[in-house]
Amino acid sequence: MNLNNYWIKRAFELENSNFVKSEETIKRLNASYLRIAKNLRDEVNKIQDKIDNINIIFLDDVQAYKYRQKLLNDLKNKIYDEYRNLSREEINVTTKHYKDVIENTYKNISEYLGSIKTDASFSMLKTDAIQDLLSIKWLGENYSDRVWKNTNLLAKKMEDILLDGTVSGKSIDFMAKQINKMMRVGSFNCERLIRTETNFFHNRTTLKAYKDYGIEKYEFLATIDSRTSHTCNKLNGQIFHIDKARIGVNYPPMHPFCRSTTVAYFEEEQLQQEEKDSIIKEWKGIKNNANYTKKESVSILKNKYGIDFKDSRKYPIDESILNECVSWLDAFNDEYSNFMKVNPCKIPIIANYPDSKMKNSVGYYSYYSNNTKVVELALNAKYHSDKDYFRQYLDYVKGNHSVANAESIHTFVHEYGHHISNSMRWISNNYNWQSEFISECIKEYNDKYNTSYTSYREFRNIVSIYGASAESELFAETFAEFYGGKSPREFAIIFGNKLNKILKGLN
């Protein structure tokens, strides 16, 4: 697939995901409009009853008149109360939704722009930047002004209809119909507002990302379906300078309910070159072993990383393996210093345990799932005390049970991969971080190699049998392939490039 086409496909997918996100918000507010219609119908019923009985209660005309005015005034207040509450609810609910749209859009666009523009790195939007975007006025108003305006207008119309009807003695049936009609108008206006503002925030955030990443041109993309307007159809495929972008003129939304979007535009050669330049084929940290003595390694772990090293007395760790582990950690620490700083999960102990304590595993990473505490990273001394034996074992499993480039650092890096995944769960404040990350890698792989994998279970040949045993193992195995050895394969390269950007973008 041509890369420009690939980004166009993603741009449409992103627009659609924001469109689908609106659904729930619209549904929830529709229910509120229905609820208010019901409240008002009940109220009209009650008041009509009281008005019908006025002449029975009051003999005095003046008193009756006054009482009637009071009832009408109560009705009026009720109408405005209901709509005031509705406005507040609508603003609350939609603000949450628009924030979500802005975050989702910026994250998505940054990922793709970050993968093309080598000088920029993936980043999240800061809270005040989201606030800035939310308060942008467009055609003289922002969304909350529009909500107030819509509901005020609706309350005014409702007041006219209901007071008029009550005074002139219209039937309850007639009034109920009027209330329902106004409710539908309100509900429709609310949906139109949410659809249009969602498109506005989606595209406005995209424009901000283009500017942040120094993009020069964009292409207008109309969602071609039966409802595509003439204006959008005409703009479809046209290319404009970012500086010249004007919402409603050459940048969407062009009209209410608009679903058009844009994509960053690159000249084909520029795209291919930048894409080529930016892909990391191999992690540079794998080569630099430091020649630490065992004593030095232990002291670096303690003093630089706050990690205690617990060795097996009977089967002490091989000095060069420990050196590889610590050198690797140094390289990782240098490359991802921000990650190391912001990570709330700290490994307190690296242990080299006798086989009897390891229950047949070559290593493990143990942590708490409900807090940031890590128990330990353990290595099996049967393998780690004897490099030759470990190598023989690896020769036997690699390229099949284990990844193709497994070397004596493999188990340590694999377990460290589990640590990265656990840490990212807390740093991103997203319990499903690993799942989402793996899905994105699979999707990218499918797009690039024209395959249709859906689950970690299908990655036996692409990663390893062990990697296909669980999603967490696919993460750890692929992590080990990219960060722990030479010449990682295609899936590991996609994984590594993606993770690299995320880890570098933390601040």
Binding site for Zn ion (CB under 5 A): 229, 232, 254, 258, 260, 473, 476
Nearer to Zn ion by Cβ, of 260 and 312: the residue is 260
Nearer to Zn ion by Cβ, of 254 and 381: the residue is 254
Closest distance between Zn ion and the C-beta of residue 290, in Å? Answer: 26
Closest distance between Zn ion and the C-beta of residue 235, in Å? Answer: 8
Nearer to Zn ion by Cβ, of 467 and 488: the residue is 467
Cα–Cα distance, 489 to 487 (Å, whole number)? 6
Closest distance between Zn ion and the C-beta of residue 418, in Å? Answer: 6
Closest distance between Zn ion and the C-beta of residue 473, in Å? Answer: 5
Nearer to Zn ion by Cβ, of 147 and 476: the residue is 476
Nearest alpha-carbon partner for 37 in 138, 129, 175: 175
Closest distance between Zn ion and the C-beta of residue 296, in Å? Answer: 28
Nearest alpha-carbon partner for 206 in 128, 266, 261: 261
- Cα–Cα–Cα angle for 390, 394, 397, nearest 5°? 140
Q: Compute φ and ψ for 39, nearest 5 degrees.
A: -55, -45
Closest distance between Zn ion and the C-beta of residue 363, in Å? Answer: 8
Closest distance between Zn ion and the C-beta of residue 84, in Å? Answer: 33
Q: Compute φ and ψ for 402, nearest 5 degrees.
A: -120, 170
Nearer to Zn ion by Cβ, of 258 and 468: the residue is 258
DSSP string for 349-408: EEEEE-HHHHTT-SEEEEE-SSSS-EEEEEEEHHHHT-HHHHHHHHHHHBTTTB-TT--T
Closest distance between Zn ion and the C-beta of residue 366, in Å? Answer: 11
Nearer to Zn ion by Cβ, of 476 and 506: the residue is 476
Q: Are 378 and 430 in contact (CB under 8 A)?
A: no
Q: Give the CA distances from residue 347 to residues 307, 373, 379, in Å, rounded to whole numbers and listed in that order.
A: 6, 8, 14
Strands 239-241 and 261-265 turn out to be: unpaired
Nearer to Zn ion by Cβ, of 321 and 476: the residue is 476
| DSSP secondary structure code for residue 138 in this structure | B
**Residue 399 corresponds to which tokens in the numbers above?**
């390229």
Q: Are 427 and 342 in contact (CB under 8 A)?
A: yes
What's the Rg (C-alpha) of the chain?
31
CB-count exposure of residue 109 (10 Å: 0-12, 13-18, 19+): buried
Nearer to Zn ion by Cβ, of 90 and 191: the residue is 191
Nearer to Zn ion by Cβ, of 155 and 351: the residue is 351
The H-or-E segment that residue 218 falls in is strand 217-221
Cα–Cα distance, 476 to 467 (Å, whole number)? 8
Closest distance between Zn ion and the C-beta of residue 415, in Å? Answer: 7
